[in-house]
Amino acid sequence: MTVKTLPQPPKVGMVSLGCPKALVDSERILTKLRSDGYAMSPDYAGADVVLVNTCGFLDSAKAESLAAIGEAIAENGRVIVTGCMGNEADVIRARFPDVLAVTGSHQYEAVVEAVHAAAPPVPSPFVDLVPEAGLKLTPRHYSYLKISEGCNHRCKFCIIPSLRGDLVSRPAAAVVREAAKLVEAGTKELLVISQDTSAYGVDIRHAASKWEGREYRAHITDLARDLGKLGAWVRMHYIYPYPHVDQLMPLMAEGLVLPYLDIPFQHASPAVLRRMARPANEAKVLERIRSWRSIVPDLAIRSTFIVGFPGETEDDFRYLLDWLEEAGIDRAGCFKYEAVEGAAANALDGAVPEEVKEERWHRFMAAQARISAARLQCRIGREIDVIIDEADGEGGATGRSQWDAPEIDGQVLLRDTSAAPGDIVRVRIEDADETDLFGVPA
């Protein structure tokens, strides 16, 4: 009997930078390459070609992307660049003339074609290469679910529309189908992401689409309800506080959606918000937060803010700190304003000195730490559900509550547990600090 030796497939390495939306792009690219017969390499040495998925949102992110490209060139030499900074191909090629190809964000076909040219695939009909849910770069028990691309807003500090275009929503049936496959493959938590999740479906007039004999409407409330019926935790990210967000509260109260909103407020001062061209009214938002918490007392709100935006005064900044306190923001990240090439904010006067930005950033972080610590103290003594991310095999484990998204929020640190990653366990909270909870199985 002749034994057929299968040819060794070419190997692809991946460096994925930037936000969860870019991570989803990387997963889609790798899934397609795996289906084409490629193997994945965990290091530079074993890769026939290396993909660098870049971020180009801030100058600091561009610097990180260029450094990653340089490292890949030095360690491997055969490099393809994609992602947001791929729109600046001339900058990349001027710095690294040896890159094999440069493509822009979500240009999946162009990336795959470039890999095919650099390391041609070896067809083999004998191996099933891709799981039905696709390849993932996150742990098995949670998955990012991208529902749209692009953004219709024109905030003056942001260049996302020029990088990713206007809003383009996926058909609701396609989103639910992907989510169902992920849950079937072991996902316990779905993290819904886009540039503007609240606007989902606006561009396609909330059109319905069919899957398995059912119609699914492309509206964020309908989508959240449909996802909540799949049996996994559903966490909403990048929510703008449009009026219809109020309709999510009953779904949270029913337990279909986690009591968690990630809302990018960016500031609270009306004057700064106007200069930013932000689509929000801070006074009404405070009223609505109180209304939301009257329906969902456990609602956690996380957000991001910018200090030192051109024209921001000391009074504006103090207004922001007071607003943080009144709103009871559970988690907050803060960025010192940074000029980005191509952003409309570059033309604004009233630049804030770097030392003032630094001082305000420290004051913001101190204020937010106090607020977070106070809100976490209220969790002590309660029993809550925790999803386990890591376990040390010696009774210790790290997980997250329904109020914590992976990598950006706090954790729940457990003792005396035999839980494994992906388990959802009942925990009694014994203590808390500024960011984390500490507990034991209930």
Binding residues: 19, 55, 84, 151, 155, 158
CB atoms within 10 A of CB 153: 16
The number of CA neighbours under 13 Å toward the Cβ of 341 is 11
**Coil, strand or helix at 336:** strand
Residue with tokens 């989510």: 179
Q: Are 295 and 324 in contact (CB under 8 A)?
A: no
Give the residue numbers of the binding site for [4Fe-4S] cluster.
19, 55, 84, 151, 155, 158
What string of DSSP letters covers 399-436? Answer: EE-TT--TTTS--EEE-S----TT-EEEEEEEEE-SS-
CA-CA distance, 147 to 134, in Å (whole number)?
A: 16
Q: Which amino acid is it at 237? A: H
> How does DSSP classify residue 80?
E
Distances (CA, A) of 388 to 97, 180, 402, 405, 429: 45, 21, 12, 12, 15
Contacts of residue 345, defined as CB under 8 A and 6 or more positions apart, other chains included, come to 156, 157, 276, 309, 310, 337, 339
**Coil, strand or helix at 145:** strand
User: Can you say how many angstroms the Cα of residue 438 is from the centroid of all Cα atoms in its chain?
Assistant: 25
